[in-house]
Structure 1
Amino acid sequence: METIINYFETIPSSHRSIILVGGLAFFWILESGVPLFKFRYKKWQHAIPNLFFTLTTVIINFSLAWLLLGTADWVVANDFGILNWIPEIPLWLYALLGVLLLDFFGAYLAHYVEHKVKPLWMVHLVHHTDHKVDTTTANRHHPIESVIRFTFTLFGVFVIGTPIALVFLYQSMSLVFTQFTHANIKMSKGFDKVLSYVIVSPDMHKTHHHYRLPYTDSNYGNIFSIWDRLFGTYLYLDREKLVYGVDVFPDEAKNSNIKDLLKQPFQKYEKPTLSTDVEE
């Protein structure tokens, strides 16, 4: 564990880029071989807007990385935050707790708030209006959302008292997990269900991408499933019933156009439809 921590403390930007590109390539190939849904689409054409928003996400996160580094250094130097206030624990437990808490602030809480605050939901819509969810959907975030997510992560680093090694470890894990859970891959339902008791599984997250409430407002987690189960936001929907998108924004052509997606947060919003066929 010490070797891992030391590595992520000084991980080169090139290595972080390899994780991004390597993960995307791996799941791209995997979902082509064992697809969950056999989409009738031109895979590269579908990927273009998603990769554009992936690029804007990378640019924003790299541009603001100095804030993360400065905050992480400050909390360590000033012995501030949850991790610095608890009694000494084994390094593996320290790392697990740090990543677990960052997953709450940077992923679950940010995601939950985006769904509950209307202006933020309009920004987050860009992610939900993909009608063919695959691994390229993972980082399909409007630039404004990238800033919002970064702000929540920064707040998490401050409150938790996370050193930069754990921040980079968390971000790397978060990236791979979001590529995994969005990937159009088919696993056995039983194995997926078992995974969902510990981590966010593909079927669990894809329920969140169903086009109607209440499923859209469920399963907010990214790495660990504990937060959804703890706060009662976990829902299950059989994969055969999945329909991707958002019911009040059904125009797939506009939802695949970069210019229209950039303007999407400022569109007129209609009240969504509440589904009555909720599964337990």
Structure 2
Amino acid sequence: MDTFIEYWANIPPAHRVLILMGGMVLFWLLEGYYPLFRFSFKRYKHAGVNLVFLATTLVLNLIFGAFTILVCDWVYDYQIGLMNWFDFSIWVDIIAGLLLMDLFGQYIPHWLMHHVKFMWKFHMVHHSDTKVDVTTGTRHHPGEWLFREASTIIGIVVIGAPVWLYFLYRGLSAMFTHFNHANIRVPRWLDRPISWIFVSPNMHKVHHHYMRPQTDSNYSNIFSVWDRLFGTFRYDDVASLKYGLDVLDERTDEDLGYQFKIPFDKNIRTDY
């Protein structure tokens, strides 16, 4: 276990990129063989648009990510947070730590972005994709990254998360993001049991339906427990879903200029 923790505490940047891009390539290939929906679109053009947003996220991580690591070191040095106040076993630290990181890093900011109008305008870019696939998981406006990372930092302080837990969470979160957004066909008999504990592909696809109440459900990324606990869990037939937002022209989903300006366009309705 010491070796495991040591690895995540000092994970090389190349390994972090490999986790991010390797998982995306894996599910990209699986989509070609076992697609949930057969979209009529140019896969490479669609991926190119979404990967531009990934590039902005990577740049922000390079510029501001070091601050998050400093916060991890700070809570460890000054013994702040739950993991430093209570002497749990390492397994409790890992499981409870990942659960709480999913709460602060995903569920809370995600819920807020659906209920605070100015935050929703940034998150609309993610929901505007009418052809949800593995690359959609990387489609986030730069402003959205700031919301999520701010909430994650608050979580680090509350949890007392060391840097190894932060990087472990980031790696696991990236894999689940690819898994949940991938346009893969998962049989209900397999997907439903997965959703009892984890966020499954069919469960998350419900969140990408273009209308409420489905859009305002299933906010978690790794564990479905938070949606079940807070009453936001929903499981519907994926065959009935339609992606996108009814307040946007679906023809604009691959117009990068339009997408980057969505948060600042006062003519775009914030209800859906």
**TM-score scaled by structure 2?**
0.97
How far has the Cα of 1:159 moved from its partner? 1.3
In 1, Cα distance between equivalents of 2:45 and 2:76: 46
Which residue is equivalent to 2:232?
233
Q: Percent identity?
A: 45
The residue correspondences of 1:160-179 to structure 2 (distance < 5 A) are 160-179=159-178
Which residue is equivalent to 2:94?
95
User: Number of paired residues?
Assistant: 271
Is 1:8 aligned with 2:13? no
Which residue is equivalent to 1:85?
85
How far has the Cα of 1:89 moved from its partner? 2.1
How far has the Cα of 1:270 moved from its partner? 2.7
Is 1:211 aligned with 2:210? yes
The residue correspondences of 1:167-206 to structure 2 (distance < 5 A) are 167-206=166-205
The residue correspondences of 1:1-280 to structure 2 (distance < 5 A) are 1-86=1-86, 88-249=87-248, 251-267=249-265, 268-270=267-269, 272=271
In 2, Cα distance between equivalents of 1:116 and 1:269: 16
The SS at the match of 2:137 is helix
In 2, Cα distance between equivalents of 1:114 and 1:260: 20
Q: Contact 2:117/2:270 (CA < 8 Å) preserved in 1?
A: no
In 2, Cα distance between equivalents of 1:136 and 1:171: 17
Q: Deviations over 1:149-178 (max 9, x none)?
A: 111111111111100000000001101100
Task: Show structure 2 runs of 5+ residues with no match.
Answer: none
Q: Contact 2:262/2:268 (CA < 8 Å) preserved in 1?
A: no
Q: Deviations over 1:77-109 (max 9, x none)?
A: 1111111122x2221221111111010001000
Amino acid at match of 2:161: T
How far has the Cα of 1:52 moved from its partner? 0.3
Amino acid at match of 2:172: M
How far has the Cα of 1:6 moved from its partner? 1.0
Which residue is equivalent to 1:276?
none
Amino acid at match of 2:94: A
Q: Contact 1:36/1:184 (CA < 8 Å) preserved in 2?
A: yes
Which residue is equivalent to 1:277?
none
In 1, Cα distance between equivalents of 2:59 and 2:172: 19
Amino acid at match of 1:234: F
Q: Contact 1:203/1:239 (CA < 8 Å) preserved in 2?
A: yes
Q: Contact 1:212/1:272 (CA < 8 Å) preserved in 2?
A: no
In 2, Cα distance between equivalents of 1:170 and 1:35: 28
Task: Show structure 1 runs of 5+ residues with no match.
Answer: 274-280
Q: Contact 1:2/1:91 (CA < 8 Å) preserved in 2?
A: no
In 2, Cα distance between equivalents of 1:127 and 1:189: 26
In 1, Cα distance between equivalents of 2:26 and 2:165: 24
How far has the Cα of 1:116 moved from its partner? 0.5
How far has the Cα of 1:2 moved from its partner? 2.7
Q: Deviations over 1:216-264 (max 9, x none)?
A: 0000000000000000001122011010001111x22212111110001
**TM-score scaled by structure 1?**
0.94
Q: Deviations over 1:17-55 (max 9, x none)?
A: 111110110000011110001111110011111000011
